[in-house]
Amino acid sequence: MSNLAEPEDVNPEDLDPEDPPTEIFSSEEESNAPSIDWLDLSTPSLLSEYPFDFGPYKILGELGRGGMGVVYKGVQKELDRLVSIKVILSNRLLSWKNVLRFRSEAKAAASVRHPNIVGIYETGKVLGQHYIAMEYIEGESLAKRNRANRLSTEEAVRVVSLVAQAIAHLHASNLVHLDLKPSNILLDQDGQPYVTDFGLARGLGGRGIGKDTEAISGTPCYMAPEQAKGDESEIGPLCDVYGLGAVLYELLTGAPPFKNDEPFETLLKVIEEEPRAPRSIAPNIPKTLEKICLRCLEKAPEKRYPSAEELANDLDRFLAGDVLESTATSMTDQIKCWLRRKPALASHLIVLSFFAGIEFLWYHLFKIRTPEYHYTLLSILSLWIVSSVGFDAFLKKPKFERTARLFWAGSDVLFLTAALLNNGGITSHLLILYPILLAASGLWFQIHLVWATTGITLLSYGFLVAHAYFSDADIQIHFDHHIVFLASLFSIGFLIALLVRRLELLLSYGRRSATLVQTKT
């Protein structure tokens, strides 16, 4: 068997993809060996031809496959023991970077020994096919087990505690995993968890093991915010603490903290939003456990558990029924979490409450408002707040989300128009809120929403001009001014729609590039 090449000896930035380093690819192969391509996905018939010999192993069948490799069940013929054999997909499309990452995975996993980490037996090549021979675990992934039969709260806590202890051992060995998720945790028939797949693992205090500086690597649903932003200076053990919290969250609620059909949308949620409180999804979750989970998922790394070991200790204390003071959070932190969890609703409530407060002061302290004007404006602001709360509730329902966003944006313009009619119409200083609403519509990243908001804004302002022209003889109408303002509103809407369109094209390009890379690997 060939030995592992030290990844630190090969700097990816100094290498040409068309001219791979010979120490990665070269090995002695049998010159008279038959040419086989048993991993070629275009030849599915070969996948059913089990068993077959593969060097010192006999392949018995396929266990699973991912973006880069396939895992087979096999037997090591000399020792007559079951093994898992991971190989790289499609040798014909092999690149030196894939091999480097593949060997880095083996190096990372082989450098640690722990009862809850899948062990590595050896690595090598057979007929040019790189492979890793690993400990065979009779069972299935945590993701598959939880989908088939949801784990109880106690079982979920026990599993995550054991995994956290394994990750703490990994960190003590100066390694971080960076891809913790239920599909990378195996459960044996006794329910014991085993951490596997070290393809993204890297060392601490060095250039890294398996580090890919050209892209954000990992699974968006379980990725820490600093990892999602690609902030290399922040990536470390606390990313794994976040991943453990994401795994616990899914086991408790049935879904990861953030999930969207578009990876970019998921990354945005990971970076900007707070996860829903687990108890709002599954009310039977103990409050203490919810606090443990949410502490792991804090945006700021310093607010999470300082280590995987401390997380494991708190989970063990929870199972023992002990009171955990470390899960307490201040009122300020809770408010910050709520603001991040519901940014649209929070911004509405803050702005509308501010205007209501100003109106209250002007009427009761300065006596510069008439009762009719005062109560009409407060009624408009109150209805605006109530409608915002209602639209936010509909955003939680996937089938109403798109419609709720559209009607919410439209209602904002209509409520503003009603407030302007009560506050001087086209002479009101609040007209500046029209372009602000247009700009805010772009934050949803939906072109149809931007154009709908633009159209409603133009009609509403046109209505204000017509209302002033027909009902108030004291106001001199300068149509050229209003035409310029209407043209400005249209231009703002057009530019925002163009910006959203360009973002969509960039995302589409990124998705195609990611698909191409995944196909090649």
Distance, CA of 187 to chain centre: 24
Q: Identify the active-site residue in 179, 240, 314, 412.
A: 179
Q: Quick one: tokens of 215?
A: 């892209």
Element (H, E) at 252: helix 237-253
Alpha-carbon span 521 to 349, nearest angstrom = 48
- Per-residue DSSP letter, 37: -
Alpha-carbon span 489 to 275, nearest angstrom = 35
Alpha-carbon span 186 to 189, nearest angstrom = 10
Backbone angles phi, psi at 140, to 5 degrees: -155, 170
Return the percent helix, strand and coil in the chain, to nearest 5: 55, 10, 30
DSSP character string of 146-180: HHHSPPPHHHHHHHHHHHHHHHHHHHHTTEE----
Element (H, E) at 360: helix 343-364
End-to-end CA distance of the chain: 23
Element (H, E) at 188: strand 185-188
Cβ-contact 179, 67 below 8 angstroms: no
Cβ-contact 451, 494 below 8 angstroms: no
Cβ-contact 29, 127 below 8 angstroms: yes
Alpha-carbon span 447 to 435, nearest angstrom = 16
- The reply to whether 179 belongs to the active site is yes
Alpha-carbon span 241 to 44, nearest angstrom = 40
- Per-residue DSSP letter, 3: P
Which three-class secondary structure state does DSSP give residue 39? coil
Cis peptide bond N-terminal to 435, omega within 30: no
Active-site residues, by number, are 179
